[in-house]
Structure 1
Amino acid sequence: MSELKKSPLHARHEAAGAKFAEFGGWSMPLQYAGIVAEHKAVRASVGVFDVSHLGKATVRGEGAVDFLNTCLTNDMGRIGDGQAQYTLLCNESGGVVDDLIVYQFAANDLFLIPNASNNATVVETLRSRAPEGIEVANIHDDYAVLAVQGPKSDETLTAMGLPVGHDYMSFDVAELDGVQLTVCRTGYTGERGYELVAPTADALKVWDAVMAAGAEFDIVPAGLGARDTLRTEMGYPLHGQDLSPEISPVKARAGWAVGWKKPEFIGHEALRAEREAGAARKLWGLKAVGRGIPRPHMVVVDGDGNEIGEVTSGTFSPSLQTGIGLALVDSAFEPGIKVGVKVRNRVEEFDLVKPPFLTPGVRES
């Protein structure tokens, strides 16, 4: 097995006492003070995540945006320069090769952030389809990404002299002590937040500036463990669990990220057919009635004990103080009913619900 790659911020994580885990071939911080504490800090004030393991690629050349629009599911006609878009790269059978963010700097200059383990696949897939004059480059190691998330994220970035207040999924190019970076209002937590994309060589400077600016708001470094509990509370899918080459956007109820009116994108014929026929299973939320905590691959059953689905993501919700999860369930079953999940040697009762499990900004009493 090859050695795990390390973030350019690895030394800062070690100094902060991080516990590390493997994510997409990278050694990344799982937690520092603890997942629950970091989760609550992001919901209440502000936290910063190192997500530099995420992929990076560029698509450049005359007609680049039109080319991408024939490959990715979402309709890039919905955005313009200075805007970003969540989208999917599917295979011909409609499964999801990866979900990613596209930044449009110009119609001939696009920046992509795929998932860490899928970056090379995304690049090679696009290269294999690119016409002459379109260059697709793998720049995975050239940039670091910091996610500043929480109700006090605006105040933190303002203290750094960075632009804030722009619309969701829009971005600005800014300068921080001579470092040019991209500031995009997005994130994976459900809270207000921004992602900062900076050259790898300047990652330490940007991290230190974020921590210094957020000190008065009790900023904490947050690991990918808290990122997972935060995204699960919002019902955001994780590729490899809730989306995969076998789990289509129709099954995952991610059809909002598909430009159905576009003439083409990779896998469009299969997806249109599945949409018309109806998916055999759909992704819904699970909320524990008792003390059960769902985990991936646990079996979901109906009231008679018949298997009707499988848990794809599951955790204990620090905000709700109960077990929650996502599950692919037979399409005959809709939210509003109770189902069972086989937890070890017993069946625990859960409500089948439509995520998100909470509304950002509305705190539990």
Structure 2
Amino acid sequence: MNNFTYTKATDIDNAVALINAGDDNKIIAGGTNIIDLLKYFIIEADKLVDINKISGINELTELPDGGIRIGALLTNADTAYHPVIEEKYPLLSKAILAGASPQIRNMATNGGNLLQRTRCYYFYDIHTPCNKRELGSGCSAIKGYNRIHAILGHNENCIAVFPSDMCVALSALDAVINISAPDGERAIEFSGFHRLPEDRPDIDNNLKKGELITSINLPEKGFSKNYSYLKLRDRSSYSFALVSVATGLELENKIIKEARIALGGVAHKPWRVKEAEDFLIGKEPNRESFSAAADRILNGAKGFDHNSFKIDLAKKAIVRNCMMALDPSSQRPGAKPSL
């Protein structure tokens, strides 16, 4: 870990000014990811700007349109267990609780969750080539051990996946990210926040230098009646997803009126295919419909030596999760989904 200075920001404007005062000044909130990145020499910092004392961005507030705004400094645990989230956005609550451990969720913030880096083995091994660490050095995972890696949206530059559970649900919910910058405030639709690798795999998202995430807006529609989050992983505790699926359905007269399906663990960002969701509108909510939608979601999927199994796994996970969304009570431990 390199030497750095530490300071506490007093408000949002002060935090933005401090970030912009140096090329390698970085934000710290919960610190559950950035400290590891510093310890393993993956990133360096001249100054850490602590934003934990900033008021107003650690709260949950109702919006005039019926939606909810969750502060960037609100912890994952406080968000997941908030009565409003549990009631109106249970999909988000379940996704958050599927991630990390209770201790980490007590520290990790919502803003930090959006910004966490991949857990690709080669990204964390500074002795191997990695285009996310050093652009142009190559991608060791393509011909290496790539069991946890991408099957969608990848290219020859990077096959890493984005690790967040929370963000998969935020993607399905069509959240909006609010940002403060030196020249004012702006908002980014969630679908446009994270990036695919393309020719800059070292850039994970479209947050600009010196900008600060302040909050996340959730629209009024939370799919609280028909929802499910399914996470398939190597062990049931404290493990990142091989494949995860967030599903929200709106049903009317036993016909699908609206569908949202987002995948995690399969790409450089949460993966949604609007064509597949539109296909489900007007269909009966059954295995055949969900299987056909899954084929559209996974169109173009390509595996590698060790992760091709994820294509079939993802299809089965989509179908299973959509069926579980028809009866959220099937998500209780030990309950059997009606497949």
Q: TM-score range by the shorter chain?
A: under 0.3
> What TM-score comes out, normalization by structure 1 length?
0.25
Larger strand percent: 1
